[in-house]
Structure 1
């Protein structure tokens, strides 16, 4: 196969501009030694953000890149964990309400709600295949070559819904050299995990394969108790069958996954990659604990009456003892263990609002998913190639949510399916050393169905909503190398989108609703809402290389997130559509390698103009009828920020990496509908964190004939943020936190065997991944506690 197009040469001039720099740049990805270069401590970093292989230091985009070795050194096995070392990146597992999905934000722009009617704000790609929904995107980092996180809008390079940025995962490819590994892990909460991967040659010099897989079992860290069993005088019905009052746990993991990659090179100019993956996930529901309960007569107000629903008192009255860790006033759910890792969710609906028989929902957060893709690359000449990426993906997810309460104020049981077909074609080439270009097209055809049984305080219904969407796009990216030092980049993408929503709402036949008559839902059955539109994104960059080790750039770029419709209307008047989000970004930065290339520092500063910001609210006074749950375009805002990343290897064996992110958000105007819902100019958008930083260090100690020992420590900090559009401190302000992880790794002299001990959340800090203020609807506040301190021991064999 022919080599990738070369990057431009650059002349060597003075290095004085870099002398005063204080920080250094990102963690490494793929290594690529340059022929004839002198030995260097820092690995060369190669990325493919602009459709061709380039050194990270030559790429005028803010990118965090990580190799498989760095992920392992940091004990990272899921996609959410990689955000710890990426400035202004917030990735986390979604709460139980949103199922097996990820909440992804970059530079304060993203999406938390996983419903099919809304779109992600951060594009996710695995081996260049686009994942179009947040559900099914909480991925295991199985047998990866590298991870690239592109910060800032990637509307021209990644396309729709990459308004905040894009995340690209790349699997290890078959290399025809044989070899592989197998690893076993055991840890706290009965964590039992196996991972492995191996290369196989099927036909010498022509057909190769790599097979990899993982199996994970781990008990939950939040214990579910039967409330009646622990509080015998309570009128809450019992669901317990055991003497210890335990119903089970939440947060447990049980999944297995596998991937097969086949590489075929029928000739020197053609390469075919066929990839198939499958995941079977039968994990428990995401943890949820009840931190506050209020009066149903005055939700959220401090009174002397306990929380009562359906005639059942729950919680403690004002002045009574309450759990010591709760920061919320006079009300909290009484816990006989006084532990933050306790939930009274029993997923039992013993008083259905529709008058039918009681039922129990399984405490599940499960998903079966599979996909296949064909990546075909053909080189017509050394400077012209064609790439085709064809893919199909499918998943079915079953998940439940009980809003933390032993009384089903908001119990949902969901069964959803999604399937998508994508096709991307790229024609890439070079005109001597003057121009590199890529032109191409993209097509997406997706069909989703969201089925659920919904229990709310006033009514209960079933739904099977149908969502169909199609996307067509054409794009171009051109790099002009005016001189060996000065380059210009221009790109554009045209996108056309159509989406159709069909609402199905049905009650149980013969049922009688409490508080809401069936006609309130009947008009929704069969109602359709549609969105269609097109958009043009573009970017322009000026890039100048002052020395071989110091480059500056300035760019303007745009991005958008598609519009859609309200996924949760209770009345036809609420089946409203919303406009796309758009973002205009101005960015300047530099990339440098200093002190004989032992120190790498990459810095960027940006200002974003954010238009038609999409948020979700539960208070809709200008929309007819109630209850209401509505996504709406809140207004305009400005985001400003600064980012720095660094690697430093001052001596052999010692590696230090750090990152820093600062982000400032300010509304410039509020739309009338958002103002009526309670949003004001002094509020923050959800998931906006002012500060994020990380620091990591490791040192490999040479033990001579018996091998080596490498201790590593990682510390990461994130400041507080609001989890909902209407800020109500402290009720939905997630406190900031600083977490530390440690790892000790032994390797034998031949590096065939590896034994490691890891500890995460080293100080056993209590923190929350989310707080949800539902006082206006279910009279309560829920919290999602993060994982406590855990240890694990791993043994790995390389072959």
Structure 2
């Protein structure tokens, strides 16, 4: 891995030298001015990172903004594509799923999507906080822009944004009839249909709808069942009603629903199963899993947003939202074989969540004072259940007294729920000390109250437990009486004050310098997998995480607006990091013990550079670079043998956090057939990545680079757009996740989950 890191570093330096030879520097946003007429200067980008509309240059926060047009020209299929061109960002499909999101920013996030765990990067859809990562791999359609906010956003966005936030902003309908329809075909039998329409019914009343239907054959195959793996079968839709009875009032009622029926992703065995002569399957998307393939994830929501401009200085805003989701399917076959050596069965509905939130804001805008104050409330519940099945013959008969002669399988039921009620008061105000000097100060007080219910038990001589179907007892009563491991209900309250302050100096009309401090907070909770017989402290839950972040940055336009650069240096003090560890149980009966620890403390520092350069009327260039140096100062783990905590900081690394990452892309445009053609080649790279805090060579991912190419043609009247998009052109194999249970009792269950292979897609869009 060190050789790969050195090679990547040499490639980076070489690329920087080439870039310097081109006379341009690294960059942030796609220049879209003159999308049809040619490039003239970098477009001014408006964002709502501080809950109000501002020029990106004026925001003392590290923000990357992507417009709908920029993402379309790049051929970005979903929000995981943002990882390729955003510094220090990890957005990937979680291991063992098709639509659950793993998100990390600057080394901070949460990989484990189990119900009850909180993400470290907040996801917002039209200012509505999406509390759970299930169904959060959002396809990109009918949007206005996407913003990625790096660093803790604990003041304005609050809970669970200690790493940052991703804002998915959809388009407003407006008061004119409009719409578009788009068809796509591609490799692996891909065919997609996307459409949207906005219809004004009367003055100040408009309705709109957007539908997206995605279909793709699998990248691989289940060689045991014949089913496809890594396929896509998704139907998503939105409905909205907008009312503008006057210039001062805006009301939007919006509903959305997404159904994902893609097959279960069991992963690929990385080592040979020792109990047979079966070789490791050559295809990285293939499996021999015998657990089954059916899967379904449904997410839906309803929101009501109202804005009232009371005066030029004051606007009141209300955001009311309800969301609901459930996941059902067969689970994950960890051993990747037809036999149940290590299966996690979840037949039926394994996961449910629902949330209600209410937010009130008062936005202030005067000549020298701008800001927002508000209150926030969340009522949420998440629950689920699954069986961990250890196949027949794996449990020693001595475990059962008296020992029967029947097959001795073992199933371990894990089930529970977490109820959360959160309340917060917040405010952030910017004051112009002078024409060149501005100070911004904000704070948030958050109180989270959580109730956890956890039940865990072993069922001997069974395939499955009574809660998860099918339930197949292999032993008669009383030998199938469960061994209860965990059975408790507990309640905890977490509260925190999270301030933020920044100072901005306008060195010139085009260049801003800033320094900022911010605190982030992620509440604690209860481990739904906790085994109270092995780790008694699990009943007490785990504590909150706290992040203190310091940042200095520069944002500026140069060369008469033809070159834009944003740069930042940051340092983060990270306390109480929540880490999930799963290890084989050392005493019979065999099983997997999970525990969540506040492992101690760490420090993270790094740098980010983004820029856009307009090289000529027809050519622009973008560059991004991120560097993260993350190290644990203390990492305490629970020793199952001694029953004590041990500091192993020197043996641990940050997960999902490459030391280096970056991208470079060009946008060449020219007149063609009366319209405008755009050619966008891009190259992104990431250095070595650990998939867990413990380095695991068999599944950790070495550094890699991905090449993409998009070609689009837009008609003179901009009604038609034709596109050809190729992604991962060199078919690079790279893991995005994995599991590691290398013990013989688990049939050497070491599996990896891989990112998409080389794909090509053609698109045709008509706008009206």
1:362-417 CA-to-partner distances (Å, cap 9, x unmatched) read: x1342122111001011111110110000001111113210123322222233211
Q: Distance in 2 between matches of 1:180 and 1:161?
A: 36
The partner residue of 2:314 within 379, 384, 404 is 384
- Report whether the alignment pairs 1:340 with 2:284: yes
What SS does the aligned partner of 2:185 have?
strand
1:117/1:519 CA distance change after superposition, 3 Å: farther
Deviations 1:291-322 (A, max 9, x none): 1146xxxxxxxxxxxx12xxxx354xxxxxxx
Whether 2:17 is the aligned partner of 1:52: answer no
1:466 and 2:417 matched:
yes
Q: Does 1:747 align with 2:714?
A: yes
Q: CA deviation at 1:569?
A: 2.2
Choose the corresponding residue for 1:490, options 435, 441, 445: 441
* Deviation for aligned residue 1:746: 2.1
Q: What is the CA distance between 1:698 and its match in structure 2?
A: 1.7
Superposed CA deviations along residues 737-780 of structure 1, whole A, max 9, x for unmatched, are: 10011112122222222221111111112222223322147323
Quote the residue 1:793 is aligned against. Answer: 762
1:735 deviates by: 1.6
The residue that corresponds to 2:403 in the other structure is: none
Aligned pair in 2 of structure 1 residues 63, 32: CA closer, same or farther (>3 Å)? farther
When structure 1 is superposed on structure 2, of 576-585 and 375-384 the one drifting more is: 576-585
SS at match of 1:408: coil
Find the counterpart in structure 1 of residue 29 from structure 2.
27
Distance in 2, matches of 1:193 and 1:678, equals: 51
1:523, distance to aligned residue in structure 2 (A): 5.5
Q: Cα distance, 1:511 vs. partner?
A: 4.1
**1:706 lines up with 2:687 in the alignment:** no
Question: Residues 368-383 of structure 1 correspond to what in structure 2 (within 5 A)?
Answer: 368-383=298-313
Q: Distance in 2 between matches of 1:615 and 1:592?
A: 39
Distance verdict in 2 for CA 1:367–1:83, change over 3 Å: same
| Per-residue deviation, residues 412-443 of structure 1 (Å, max 9, x unmatched) | 2332111100000101113x322112110110
1:613 is aligned to 2:577: yes
The equivalent residue for 1:589 is 553
User: What is the match of residue 418 of structure 1?
Assistant: 353
2:388 aligned partner: 454
Call closer, same or farther: CA 1:420–1:180 in 2, change over 3 Å.
Answer: same
**Counterpart in the other structure of 1:105:** 104
Alignment of 1:60-209 (within 5 A): 60-96=60-96, 100-204=99-203, 206-209=204-207
Partners of 1:114 and 1:87 in 2: CA distance? 24
> Aligned partners of 1:648 and 1:672: how far apart in 2?
48
In structure 1, the residue matched to 2:486 is 524
Is there any run of 5+ residues in structure 1 with no aligned partner, and where?
1-20, 34-38, 227-239, 241-246, 295-306, 316-332, 348-360
Find the aligned partners of 1:672 and 1:712 in 2 and give their Cα distance: 48
Match of 2:10 in 1: none
Asked if the contact 2:634/2:647 (under 8 Å) is kept, the reply is no
Find the aligned partners of 2:501 and 2:481 in 1 and give their Cα distance.
Answer: 54
Structure 1 residue 524: Cα displacement: 2.8
The answer to whether the aligner puts 1:269 opposite 2:248 as a matched pair is: yes
How far the C-alpha of 1:482 sits from its partner, in A, is 0.3
**Secondary structure of 1:81 counterpart:** helix
Q: Residues 24 and 460 of structure 1: is their aligned pair in 2 closer, same or farther, counting only changes over 3 Å? A: same
In the alignment, which of 322, 333, 337 is matched to residue 402 of structure 1?
333
Correspondence for 1:551: 512
Match of 1:577 in 2: 541
**Quick one: distance in 2 between partners of 1:99 and 1:630?**
25
- For residues 608 and 536 of structure 1, what CA distance do their matches in structure 2 show? 17
> Residue 28 of structure 1: CA displacement?
4.8
Count of residue correspondences: 699
Q: Counterpart of 1:502?
A: 453
Q: Alpha-carbon deviation of 1:93?
A: 0.3
Between the aligned partners of 1:615 and 1:450, the Cα distance in structure 2 is 20
SS at match of 1:372: strand
Whole-Å separation in 2 of the counterparts to 1:189 and 1:591:
43
Partner Cα distance (2:648, 2:474) in 1: 36
Query: For structure 2, which runs of at least 5 residues remain unmatched after alignment?
Result: 1-22, 396-409, 460-464, 467-471
Q: State the partner residue of 1:237.
A: none
Contact 2:230 2:262 in 1 (8 A): yes
Instruction: Answer yes or no: is 1:721 the counterpart of 2:689.
Output: yes
Decide whether aligned partners of structure 1 residues 31 and 154 sit closer, same or farther in structure 2, where only a CA change above 3 A counts.
farther
Residues 125 and 334 of structure 1, relative CA distance in 2, 3 Å threshold? closer
**In structure 2, C-alpha distance between the alignment counterparts of 1:656 and 1:536, rounded to whole Å:** 42
Q: Does 1:634 align with 2:590?
A: no
Q: Match of 1:629, SS?
A: strand
Q: Equivalent residue for 1:784?
A: 753
TM-score (norm 1): 0.83
SS of residue in 2 equivalent to 1:341: coil
Residues 495, 534 of structure 1: 8 Å contact kept: yes
Aligned 8 A contact 1:466 1:503 in 2: yes
Question: Helix, strand or coil for the counterpart of 1:784?
Answer: strand
For the residues of structure 1 that align with 2:649 and 2:588, how far apart are their CA atoms?
22
Conservation of the 8 A alpha-carbon contact between 1:622 and 1:673: no
1:8-66 per-position Cα deviation (integer Å, ceiling 9, x unaligned): xxxxxxxxxxxxx9734421599999xxxxx9521110011112110000110000000
In structure 2, what is the Cα distance between the partners aligned to 1:32 and 1:124?
31
Pair 100,744 (structure 1): closer, same or farther in 2 beyond 3 Å: closer
TM-superposition CA deviations, 1:675-720 (whole Å, max 9, x none): 95784325212112101101111211212x5323222111110111
Alpha-carbon distance in structure 2 between the residues aligned to 1:678 and 1:223: 43
Give the SS at the match of 2:156.
Answer: coil
Distance in structure 2 (CA, Å) of the matches to 1:334 and 1:381 = 68
| CA–CA distance in structure 2, aligned partners of residues 531 and 654 of structure 1 | 57
Q: CA RMSD in A?
A: 2.6
Instruction: Return closer, same or farther for 1:696/1:99 CA change in 2, 3 Å cut-off.
Output: closer
SS of the aligned residue for 1:565 comes to coil
* Structure 2 residue aligned with 1:211: 209
**3-state secondary structure, aligned to 1:578:** coil
**SS of the counterpart of 1:80?**
helix
Check the 8 A contact 2:634/2:648 in 1, yes or no: no
Which residue among 223, 227, 233 is the counterpart of 1:225?
223
CA distance in 2, matches of 1:481, 1:40: 31
Q: Which residue does 1:329 correspond to in 2? A: none
Deviates more, 1:550-559 or 1:789-798: 789-798
Alignment partner of 2:699 out of 712, 717, 732: 732
Q: How many angstroms does 1:623 deviate by?
A: 12
